[in-house]
Amino acid sequence: MKKILLAVSFIFFFQVAQSQVWIDVGVKVGYGMSLLYNSNIFDDVPYNHQFGGGLGFGGRVGLNFGKHHGFTMDVMSHSMKQKFEYKLDFTGDDFHTNLIEWKNLDLYLLYRGSSHKVYVEVGPMFSLVRKLKQTDSRITEAELVAATTATGISDFYRDNYVSGVIGFGGYLVGTETVSLNIGFRIHYAFQDFISDLGQDPDPSGAIKSFPAPIRDNTYDPYKKTSPLMGEVSLELNFGLGGTAKTNCSDRMHWFWSGNKGGKRR
């Protein structure tokens, strides 16, 4: 297996070395659905998930090798949320709400490969949590904080986490140096979004582990909470330099060759 991986890596880097290197830059805007995935909460019947909208915008720099390989370095600002509806034994059939809202600065480093009219991309994303708010209809933020050693609601959550990203997309329209792309990405955090304090906020057990601190049951064993998001985005790119102009033009013509009767590349 090691020999196979080494051989594949050698072939890839050999092809890259023989390719023209060029740069493109772009702006992006995206919208999708966010979710805090925790298997304990999914199995807890009185707790119901509701998908929340996630809005993002930012920019990218692409380092490309020829027409089919490259790396994209994106910086995106995302606003996400997760809403739960839940019931408690002592309140009967009444529904209560638990809403978590947070904003990230997300840093991507993705490999992007283009072939057969689409591109695919994969790689890591590092998220910096810039702002977080939690609103529960059964207890105020001040009461949650006062019942623990926290100084604020953000103490119950991590201020950064790492995700894996996979995506795909296609080129909509383009000229020699400009292209408009549409894409779809799935983000899944490998790390627990809940801090050490959030996992065990109150030794008395009145305030249970986040992100669902008010509930009847104590989850045993504890399970991590992973931010999950699916996002559709539009990406406007600009090629830089003469090499970029040539490769952008070839890439656009190759993509539209089936419609324009051009030569396949």
> pLDDT (tens digit, 9 = 90+) per residue, 156-175?
999 999 999 999 999 888 78
List CB contacts of 150: < 8 A, sequence separation 6 or more.
144, 156, 197, 201
Q: Is the pLDDT of residue 73 over 60?
A: yes
Question: Using CA atoms, how far apart are residues 135 and 142, in angstroms rounded to an integer?
Answer: 10
- The whole-number average pLDDT for the span 101-127 is 94
Q: Which of 11-15, 18-22, 60-64, 208-212 has the lowest mean pLDDT?
A: 11-15
SS3 119: strand
Does residue 250 have a pLDDT over 80? Answer: no
Pairing of strands 52-65, 96-108: unpaired
Q: Give the helix/strand (H/E) hosting 45.
A: none
φ, ψ for residue 200, nearest 5 deg: -145, 75
Per-residue model confidence (pLDDT) at position 211: 97
> In which residue are the tokens 């298997």 written?
39
Q: Which structure tokens are listed for 187?
A: 């983000």
Angstrom distance (rounded) from CA 115 to CA 138: 53
Contact 255, 56 (CB under 8 A): no
Region 252-262: mean pLDDT is: 42
* Domains of the chain by start residue, with CATH: 26-258 (2.40.160.20)
E runs forming strands in 137-191: 160-174, 178-189
CB 131 within 8 A of CB 104: no
What is the C-alpha end-to-end distance of the chain, expressed in Å?
33
